[in-house]
Chains A and B, each alone.
Chain A
Amino acid sequence: MHGWGRRPPAVRSAHRRGTPGRTVSRVVAVEPVGSPGGDCGSADVAALIPLVRRIVASRVPDPATADDLVQETLTRVLAAAGRVEPGMLEPYAIVTARNVVTSMWRDQDRQRRHQHRVVDLRPPEAPDEDVLAREDRAAVAEALTRLSDRERSTLLAHEVSGQDTRALAAELGSTAGAVAAQLNRTRARLRVEYLLVSERVEPPTERCRPVLLAISGGDRRRQREVDAARHLLECDLCARLSEPLVGRGRSRDDAVRVAVRTDADVVAARQAAREVATRLGFSTTEVTLIATAVSEITRNIVRFAESGEVVVAELQEPRKGISIVARDAGPGIADVEQALQDGYSTYQGLGLGLPGARRLMDEFAVVSEIDRGTTVTMTKWRGET
């Protein structure tokens, strides 16, 4: 739309199949450096774009809304790519696309129902939130009773009494590493049980719990063993629960959103990232690295798209980290791979600053569609303490 979304013919032909018309999709996976999830299968996400688009388009008639939902879906799938078995990405994308559409209808419906409240000046959400918090505590308590005694006491000693893994290991006659791994498994189980309690459901089949557990723990080998991909397509309950379980970027409550239009917003975005990173306990050096990376990718939005947003979120699983998603509805990058090459990005070119930002972060991925927009997702994990 701005005239420089021109694409090299090779890319065009390579990706034309299945997407008649204008769109060229390009995704590049950048292998996460020292990430716990192993290879992030975001190259595979590229192949999923036509599928996602089809699912969304068949449910949402308005093209602009559909575009937004496709982007939202891709962002979530990309964020999850490190934690799910590559063969599971397709079912996961299908499930996610459906969920994204459903939650949009739900939001619209809620807005419609609450429209009359707009004139009511009292803070409308406060009582609901209180009920929610109480129900939430009850659900956690109930979920805790479903753990084994040993699991529960170790988890509580760590989370509530603040005993570190080394002290716990000495007490249990184990190693700190083994205790940490056990704690992660327990948390994964707790998340599953919590969701089941708060949704007031019992899993319909015997395979549900093992599948949910494998997804919750981000255990890709286990996901393969229990054939989680197939189960997600067959089981509505697990399809619904799998998304919150993947968990990455799910801590939306802690997320800070910065709308980006002008140069000043670049400063605002990097300061938001700085605050979140500091709160998470990153060292001042790491905080500066993160702020610098945010500065680089946010500048792209200002230069090449009319507007966009940067969302900074805290990650708790599989360990503490910061996730940054920069999204715009601009012209897109024709050749992401090339934009990520050093020396390609000039101040006239798209993809400015991408290689630099990539070097500063642990995980880095770009999804771009010509004429539809670009989403950069990057993560930095906190070192073990």
Chain B
Amino acid sequence: MNGGPRLFSILRQGPYLIASIHTALDDSQLVRFQQDLVERIGSDRARGVVIDVAALDVLDSFASRTLRDIGEMARLRGAVTVIVGIQPDVAFAMVELGMDTGRVVTALDLEEGLAELDSHVTAPPAPRT
């Protein structure tokens, strides 16, 4: 439906998915991101997801809610979600706005996010691909 450049990417790394947002997304693009990611969690049988939001200019009520929803849906599909890259200014605005990421865990960067996933995903990763 939109022929522009890819606004996000979802890559597989072992049992995990790494989803990176490349630019500011509008609401419909965020919804599309949510749909694609949740679908991939199912089709890849992922045990964990890292979402990198460093490129998002704001995390307003809609974006915060979308991330929280992704976390809930992932949980229902047996995957843990960690959000990384929330900029300090963005985090401050979220607090002022009265939003948070709910039960979704946050970490500083990708490396920490993966470590966080390892600690949450207690069972050994499924060997199948």
Which chain A residues have a beta carbon within 8 Å of chain B's beta carbons? Answer: 262-264, 266-267, 270-271, 274, 284-285, 287-289, 291-292, 295-296, 299, 302, 342, 347, 352-353, 355-356, 359-360
Contacts and interface: CB of A to CB of B under 8 A. Distances in A.
Interface of B: 24-29, 57-62, 65, 87-90, 92-93, 96-99
Given A291-B57, A292-B60, A263 B28 contact: yes
A342 B92 CA distance: 19
A289 B87 CA distance: 12
Nearest to A342: B98
A199 B58 CA distance: 45
23 contacts: A263-B29, A266-B26, A267-B25, A267-B26, A270-B58, A274-B57, A285-B88, A285-B92, A288-B58, A288-B87, A291-B58, A291-B93, A292-B59, A295-B58, A295-B62, A296-B60, A299-B62, A347-B65, A355-B98, A356-B61, A356-B98, A359-B96, A360-B93
Contact of B24 (A271, A353, A355): A271
A264 B2 CA distance: 12
Nearest to B60: A295
Contacts of A295: 58, 60, 62
B89 A288 contact: yes
A291 B58 CA distance: 7
A359 B93 contact: no
A118 B88 CA distance: 51
Contacts of A288: 57-58, 87, 89-90, 92-93
A325 B61 CA distance: 20
Contacts of B96: 289, 359-360
B92 A289 contact: yes
B71 to A, nearest CB: 17
Nearest to A274: B57
A292 B93 contact: yes
A220 B128 CA distance: 75
Nearest to A361: B96
B5 to A, nearest CB: 14
A285 to B, nearest CB: 5
Nearest to A283: B89
A284 B89 CA distance: 7
Nearest to A284: B89
Leading 6 A-B pairs by shortest Cβ distance: A263-B26, A288-B89, A295-B60, A356-B97, A292-B93, A263-B27
Given A267-B26, A271-B57, A288-B58, A359 B89 contact: no
A310 B87 CA distance: 26
Given A288-B90, A359-B97, 9 more contacts: A270-B58, A284-B89, A285-B88, A285-B93, A289-B93, A296-B60, A356-B61, A356-B99, A359-B98
A281 to B, nearest CB: 16
Contacts of B29: 263
Contacts of B59: 292
Nearest to A357: B97
Nearest to A285: B89
B58 to A, nearest CB: 5
Residue from B29, B58, B59 whose CB has the most chain A CB atoms within 10 Å = B58
Contacts of B99: 356
Contacts of A285: 88-89, 92-93
Nearest to B92: A285
Contacts of B58: 270, 288, 291-292, 295
Contacts of B93: 285, 288-289, 291-292, 360
Contacts of A267: 24-26, 57
Contacts of A352: 61
A352 B62 CA distance: 10
Given A270-B57, A274-B57, A292 B26 contact: no
A302 B72 CA distance: 27
Nearest to A352: B61
B27 A296 contact: no
A300 to B, nearest CB: 11
B15 to A, nearest CB: 33
Contacts of B90: 288
Contacts of A266: 26-27
